[in-house]
Amino acid sequence: MATRFFSTQVVFGVRVAAVKFPPARSASPLGHGIRHCSSMFKANDLQVTMTTSPRTPLPPDKLVFGKTFTDHMLSVSFSEERWGKPSISPLRNLSLHPAVPALNYSMQLFEGMKAFYGEDGNIRMFRPQLNMSRMRRTAMRACLPDFSEVELLECVRRLVELEKKWVPKSNISSLYIRPVYIGTETSLGVAPTSRALLYVILSPVGPYFPQGGFQPVSLLADPKFVRSWHGGVGDFKMGGNYNPTILVQNEAQRKGCQQVLWLHGPRQNLTEAGTMNIFIYWTNASGEEELVTPPLDGLILPGVIRQSLVELVKRQGKIKMSEREVSMEEFMAAMSEDRVKEMFGSGTACVVCPISKIVYNGKVRPSENFKKLFMQRKWPIVLYPSRSGVDVSCCAIWHFRISTYPR
């Protein structure tokens, strides 16, 4: 029987996708990143302290990305080779010693996922197991203590349930979930930490880009800037991967672009756009209709939306779905021959975002045609129905929504 990737279950009104956790990959060829613990924290031990000053959520049309936060947060500490009990408490500032490795050596990682209302009135988190698995894999690479994906997800689900009034009832807004994991040992030594803090905050958000909605973005492609390299950590969701990109993004904005198209190697292979995975829909050099995205070869983040789009298109079966390298030479040849139909980026924060133009070698390569096609094409993709009769479907390739599966 085929796996029902998007089937859901309801627990206390908040649904999470009923998908088995894949085995976590070793963070290094020798597996040295694994920090085994004498005990794991348990969701059944969760302690809850409610705020005495609850606030009223903003209307969805007043939300911007990442500026508003809910009343409570989840946190759990690690010390003396053991996890403490997880707790939900009023949102607060953290108290950290100036020597902690999270501040000195970027011993830190984070995740991002969303909760939103479905058309049936239930709150759902989109494929959160994939985020938990990716977070655990990144923790291994950062030499942070191991944790249970299942227990953390249940704690997060309970936090979302507690803060359900903050989930916007809107088709352009959602509740952004930000888990963060940091090393907190008081030491200037460069070594695995004996103390750590894992916490989760929630933020009701509007569109990721300031222009709002599914407005297209422009990209600067400059091979002198590199985001990642083979053998590095470009495929892990670590905070240290993001700060160095801000200067390059400022350079892109100075040249009239909103984001950066990251290139790699002597062939200038396309990798990511800003913080997004990228997709190109074109007629390839062999005359086939193809949707292509760069491969998971250690250079790009294995995005949850990316994986979902790849699976959806393969199951839909109308066009060829490829995960392979695309060089700027191949891409520019396709542009000059008018074979590129659509290009877009994907990510949890933006969902999917069309790309309108690329500035490369000082020249502007407009793509008004495939931007227009991107916004016009409407081909629904629906996976297998869940036991509950509710399924994730895709209206156009870029707009995820919950719809009732016709029985």
- 78 has a pLDDT exceeding 90: yes
**Strands 72-79, 47-48: pairing kind:** unpaired
Other Cβ atoms less than 10 A from the Cβ of 34: the count is 16
The tens digit of pLDDT for each residue in 317-336 reads 999 999 999 999 999 999 99
> What global pTM score does this model have?
0.84
- 282 has a pLDDT exceeding 90: yes
Higher pLDDT, 393 or 280: 280
Amino acid 34: pLDDT: 60
- 32 has a pLDDT exceeding 60: no
% pLDDT > 90, the chain: 66
Domain 8-205 coded CATH 3.30.470.10: yes
Distance CA 308, CA 41 (A): 30
pLDDT, the chain, mean: 83
Mean pLDDT to the nearest integer, 219-228: 95
- Which letter, b or e, does each residue of 113-125 get, where b requires 16 or more Cβ atoms within 10 Å of its Cβ? bbbbbbeeebbbb
**19 — pLDDT class (breaks 50, 70, 90):** very low
Amino acid 386: pLDDT: 32
Mean pLDDT to the nearest integer, 290-295: 97
Amino acid 206: pLDDT: 86
Enumerate the domain spans of the chain.
8-205, 217-376
The tens digit of pLDDT for each residue in 157-212 reads 999 999 999 999 988 889 999 999 999 999 999 999 999 999 999 999 987 766 55
- 41 has a pLDDT exceeding 60: yes
The tens digit of pLDDT for each residue in 346-390 reads 988 777 888 888 999 877 665 555 455 544 443 332 333 333 332
Whether the CA torsion 203, 130, 381, 397 is positive or negative: it is positive
Highest mean pLDDT among 33-47, 153-167, 168-182, 211-225: 153-167
Higher pLDDT, 248 or 401: 248
- 24 has a pLDDT exceeding 80: no
Closest CA to 173 of 82, 40, 61: 61
**91 — pLDDT class (breaks 50, 70, 90):** very high
- 313 has a pLDDT exceeding 50: yes
Q: Which CATH superfamily is domain 217-376 in?
A: D-amino Acid Aminotransferase, subunit A, domain 2 (3.20.10.10)
